[in-house]
Structure 1
């Protein structure tokens, strides 16, 4: 018998382990808060759009470098036509074809051939720092894009956390409605049995049925809220809705611990955009100033030319004019400045300085908002912590009152209304527990967001 008992015990343990395995696996596969945030940041389209825009800014650095390469132009042409010249000046405007030929008393219709090849180069080698200012402005644009991407991640992280908490507290309230429905159903069965035995009046049964219907409706409404919250979280994380089952672990004890009062960090994602925007606007001021300065350019050209006209401008055979008979080259240095650019730059710099001042004021506003958010969260958290410490007493008293009222009702010493009041009180206190915890968690989230320290907040949901 002892051996058989041991075998039976082992067999029952194995069966219970196999039965509990799917439940444990399902619990392990539940979506945690950090996993929800990571899944959203890995696939959300707005982040991909921001990253593409940032990639375009970085690619622009190569375009800027290519634009600074020397201009090298090669040209060759072979011509046949008349060659009649006449003294005089004109603006070509790109419309008149230049003609090089002798000045003659009359117009000749004879043809002459010619051949010309040209290579020219110009390279802007110095411009008093404009290239450096352009590089600085491009780096500032990239920095602003990077800060914008981080701000987008920060905002998206806030949205995911809010959606996760929405589902989290909906799950808690659903459990409360489920427990309330079970208690009301138990009371309804007891009352129905007492009414059938003639111990209690029929009115009690009617009141119990009404309470049961209300409990069912509340449970169904909370199920609808849970489904809505699941759809929202599934949309953010990119997961099918039937796979959205969250981990409902919550460490309550850290919520009762007083915390120090930190200051918002200067590298906060909500501040970085404004800080880098100021740097970018200052860089643009420098570029505007240096764009008005002169430009020094190296120039070079070489060309070869042939013509069927001889040195006395007599028309010769056409074919020899297709070969090159003269070559030339030309080197030079040019300095170019547009004097009116100085006035234009002054006006643009004044405008840009107003934008710099605007960006600095916006940075101060963002800093004040973060400090205000942190101060409010710390002040309210101290009060909510006192409420959290008191809630276990209220919950324990409500449960004792319900148990006592149910016992007294069974013994004929209480009315059904008193029992219903005890049920309502217990459910209200349970909801108050969830509501207060939700308030404390939200304040901790505001604190974490103001200090850009979410790891401390994540630890509340780690097992």
Structure 2
């Protein structure tokens, strides 16, 4: 009967999850590495970092001198009047002599211009911009590491979920086999008139319930496989996990690890604080004067002579006058000193916000590490108690089954023994899950996964 039950379970596995028989086995570290190589959000974070690096170069390029070359040849009238005005970019300036009448004669001209201006000194604003750009890059690098850390955690959690679902599925398989065995025994006893027909009905109900639990577990397992396949960019039908891990290692004292400032979550928050602080300095420097070096040279030709008489049009296309100009200019906006006061205050609040977030993150990680270390001894005691609990539940089931066969136990007692054995087996998986999670929490709190990954490496 047990052989028939095992065949039945085998049929379930082939029908519902046939691809697991042919897929390549993936370890937990392989799954993490695959996700880190292919996950889109990591590529997005890396692209954002490269943009910050290019932006740092753009900031330097913006400090190069502005050098402009210009040449224009014009033909038009040249009627001038005395007076001043703001051109506003709309009025075309005209250079010509004043005449008593408006003339429609044409004059030609040629103007060539070369100008350069270079901001050579600004009391440290350039250095403040560079520091802010470097701080942005550090934040971007920390964001990439932060994203890797989050992806690693997601993959590990999904992998572990598959591991525990697989173990629970095996329990459901054994439960179906046990219930089916009991159902067949009860059916024979009922057919021979030894047991009432109610026992056969109750056994059938228990068998159906066991199969429903099995199908539900298969559904959850398939969902977890799809999630892991998505994370690792692998086809679902080519994905299988290594379900073995070093259970005895859970009883050993783990290596001592401490929370350090190099944790990806803390490094990101620290760099963010430094970045916000660097912006305060840039805000203060931005109001200081700017010293620029100015140079200009131009040449001009016109068909008007020195007496303002119109000459041949072609005579204005050459150059007859040249000029140059060199100067130093200092520019300051006095109202900027008032503006930076409020901007600095606003930025200081941002620094305070970032500092508080850093302290909160430190507190959370330290609390996770302390909690994991404190509950580890209790979890170890539970692991030590597991063999006794499993053996006792197995013996109780076998004894109830034997008593039932001999007419000394009723169907309810046998059902209770079956359910108790299944419950203890699931509790064993849950305790192992808790023990592994304690190790995972320690790894998460310290960003040291070596001890955790060693649980899943084959010896």
Number of corresponding residues: 440
After superposition, where does 1:13-412 map in structure 2 within 5 Å? 29-259=24-254, 262-412=257-407
Q: Secondary structure at the match of 1:299?
A: strand
Structure 1 residue 109 displacement after superposition: 3.0
Deviates more, 1:260-269 or 1:70-79: 260-269
- Aligned equivalents of 1:462 and 1:28: distance in 2? 19
Paired with 1:219 and 1:429, the residues of 2 have a C-alpha distance of 17
Instruction: Indicate the larger mover: 30-39 or 190-199.
Output: 190-199
Residue 188 (structure 1) shift = 2.0
Alpha carbons 2:254, 2:451 under 8 Å: kept: no
What secondary structure is seen at the aligned counterpart in 2 of 1:105?
A: coil
Q: Secondary structure at 2:241's aligned position in 1?
A: coil
Q: Report the aligned-residue RMSD.
A: 2.1
Q: Once the 2 structures are TM-superposed, how far is the Cα of residue 201 of structure 1 from its aligned partner? A: 4.1
- Contact 1:85 1:103 (C-alpha < 8 Å) held by counterparts: yes
Conserved 8 A contact 1:258-1:382: no
Contact preservation (8 Å) 1:27, 1:247: no
Say whether the 8 Å CA contact 1:261–1:378 is kept in structure 2: no
Structure-2 residue corresponding to 1:9: none
Secondary structure of 1:239's counterpart equals coil
SS of corresponding position for 1:245: strand
**Distance of 1:139 and 1:27 partners within structure 2:** 50
Q: Partners of 2:296 and 2:259 in 1: how far apart? A: 62
State the 1:260 CA deviation. Answer: 5.9
Change (3 A) 1:326 1:429: same
Using structure 1 for the length normalisation, give the TM-score.
Answer: 0.90
Give the C-alpha shift of residue 26 in structure 1: 6.4
Give the Cα separation in 1 of the matches to 2:98 and 2:352.
Answer: 66
- The Cα of 1:374 is off from its aligned counterpart by 1.5
Checking the alignment, whether the CA contact within 8 Å between 1:255 and 1:385 is kept in structure 2 is yes
Query: Contact 2:23–2:237 at 8 Å: present in 1 too?
Result: no
Counterparts of 1:202 and 1:315 in 2: how far apart (Å)?
128
Q: Aligned partners of 1:431, 1:318: CA distance in 2, in Å?
A: 102
Instruction: Give the drift of 1:29.
Output: 2.6
Secondary structure of the structure 1 residue equivalent to 2:123: coil
Given that 1:163 and 1:229 are in contact with CA atoms closer than 8 Å, whether structure 2 keeps it comes out as yes
Gaps of 5+ in 1: 1-24
The separation in 1 between residues aligned to 2:51 and 2:287, in whole angstroms, is 28
Of residues 390-399 and 188-197 in structure 1, the stretch that sits farther from structure 2 once superposed is 188-197
> Secondary structure of the residue that 1:91 maps to in structure 2?
coil
Contact 1:150–1:269 at 8 Å: present in 2 too?
Answer: yes
Contact 2:176 2:210 (8 Å CA) reproduced: yes
Deviation (angstroms), 1:356: 0.9
